Every structure is written in structure tokens, then in C-alpha cells.
Amino acid sequence: MDKIEHIGIAVKDIEKSNALFASLFGKPHYKMEEVASEGVKTSFFKTGPNKIELLEATKPDSPIAKFIEKKGEGIHHIAFAVEDIVSEIKRLKEEGFTVLNEIPKKGADNKLVAFLHPKTTNGVLIELCQEIDS
């Protein structure tokens, strides 16, 4: 596993949060993207070498809607860059982690992603992400 690729924050209203984080960081988000399969709208900010992803649910059964219902807005996941997501999934399964996506799926920002269940990672939802070569 490599560097932190981004931190995901669950928000109720992405337009409001775009304005909030733009004033926090002193610059606007640089892109928005909807991932229809996940029922989320995402917005990305850069702060120095770091990236922050805001996530808003686009449907009531979206994982983000469920998260906010249970825990409220806030940090939703930490994403780590990996070179080879398939071999990393295999390694983590062998280590006893519960991988939620045994087959990586297409996420936002041109990435292949997979999540680890927070019950096996001290309550932290971990995302693995591999850049898709294009």
C-alpha cells in the first residue's frame, strides 16, 4: 500500500459544501463527477499534495445516505493508492481483512477501487485505488 490518495467526506448538500470547503481552502473544487452505479455525486479539492473528495448521495439507498443516517456528516473513508489492486486485494484477504469488493470496480476520478469493511479495520472504511492507465 502506498500514500494516502484522498480522504472522503460525506456531506448532505454538495453545493453548500463546495462553497464551505472553497472558503476553507481558499480555492474552488477542480472537478465534480457523478458515479451513478454508487449513487453518489463527488467533488474534488486539492490542497498542496493532498486531495479531498466530498460525497453526496443521489438516492436514498446509496451507501452515503446510509452513512449519514447512522453517523451524520463527516469523514467517510481514507483512500490509499496501490500499484496493483488485484494482488493487494488477494494479500489483504490472506491477512484476514474483509474486502467488500473482491472484484475492483470503477470509481470516480478514473480509478479502480475496492473497499475494506470497517469492522476489520478499527472502524475505518479503507478504500484502495489504482489509477487506470488510459
Size of the site for Zn ion (CB under 5 A): 4
CB half-sphere exposure, 105, CA atoms < 13 A = 13
Site string for Zn ion, 24-53 (x = CB under 5 A): -----------------------------x
First to last CA, the chain: 22
Nearest distance from C-beta of residue 23 to Zn ion, angstroms:
23
CB half-sphere exposure, 66, CA atoms < 13 A = 5
Nearest residue to Zn ion on Cβ basis: 8
* 8 interacts with Zn ion by CB under 5 A: yes
* 63 interacts with Zn ion by CB under 5 A: no
